[in-house]
Amino acid sequence: MRAALALVLLWHAAAATVVADFRKNGFVIVHSFATPEEVTAMKAAMKEKTDAYWAERSDPTVFRTDAGQEAAQARSRKFFESADRVEFFEEAEGAALIKAGHALHLGDDAFGRYATSQKVRTLLRDLGYERPVLPQSMYIFKQPSIGGEVSAHQDSTFLHTSPTPTCVGVWVALEDCTTANGCLWALPGSHGEPVSMRMLVDREEGGGPETGSIRFEGEYPDWLGDLSTKEKFVPLETKAGTAVLLHGENVHYLSLIHISEPT
């Protein structure tokens, strides 16, 4: 009983640090959040899905995060249909995936179990969410030497609530992430900035869920493009199983994987 009480007290102390760091920096790393079994199960579940995708590949759809995003996703049937199912998106170069989404959490498998687990609920409650809603999930693939950088952005650009932006990203690393293989980089304290840009969906009148177009309103401030700003980003290097909480207004990006070709 005494050991159990000590453990509870320890958890509350750790949770208080997590919450304090999150509020201060706009992100926080939570070590050993997913168990090795959960990580293995999610990777195995995705292997099954990707094997099936490549075996029956049809209507290959490129997902872009660069200046061409508006045009590319506006024409994408899969993009609009992926809200409540799992669709696959490819790198511009083809023959490699960039992500699967956006409803892995609805699956009755390792993803659904993890996403709705008690520890995820407790984590969000610790952050002050009384009735958290899970609207979107995705699996990001970072292939060696393929694909570009996911440029600096705020997640509240894409998942926006009003009157108060309440989006929080709950990342979990399924492999060790380092500066050498494309880890997250975040700008500490940037969650004090307002949401600079919003993605809006224009539905076609009478059209189905697969029709519409997206556009962006506003723009990211010039200072984001400054190299001096980029030097203030910190790498979020993580071991497999580590979670990263990202405040919706935190500015972050995914670095390029730069692997030297053998000479």
Rank residues 155 and 249 by Cβ distance to Fe ion and give the closer one: 155
Region of 16-24, 40-48, 150-158, 185-193 interacting with Fe ion (CB under 5 A): 150-158
- Shortest Cβ 141–Fe ion spacing (Å): 15
**Is the CB of residue 116 less than 8 Å from the CB of residue 132?**
no
182's tokens = 């494309």
- Give the DSSP per-residue string, 81-144: HGGGSEEEEE-TTSSSEEEEEE-GGGSSSHHHHHHT-HHHHHHHHHTT-SS-----EEEE---T
**Residue 34 near residue 241, CB atoms below 8 Å:** yes
Number of residues that bind Fe ion (CB under 5 A): 1
Q: Does 38 bind Fe ion (CB under 5 A)?
A: no
Reference 153, options 66, 30, 84; nearest CA is: 66
The span from the first CA to the last CA of the chain, in angstroms, equals 62
Answer yes or no whether residue 155 interacts with Fe ion by CB under 5 A: yes
The C-alpha atoms of residue 32 and residue 34 are separated, in whole angstroms, by 6
> How far apart are alpha carbons 210 and 78 in whole angstroms?
8
The stretch among 6-14, 110-118, 151-159, 222-230 that binds Fe ion (CB under 5 A) is: 151-159
CB nearer to Fe ion: give 124 or 254.
254
Residue with Cβ nearer Fe ion (87 or 155): 155
Q: Measured from the CB of residue 184, what is the shortest distance to Fe ion in angstroms? A: 8
Q: How far is the CB of 213 from Fe ion (least distance, A)?
A: 22
Minimum distance of Fe ion from residue 36's CB (angstroms): 26
Closest CB to Fe ion among residues 30, 170: 170
Contact residues: Fe ion, CB under 5 A: 155
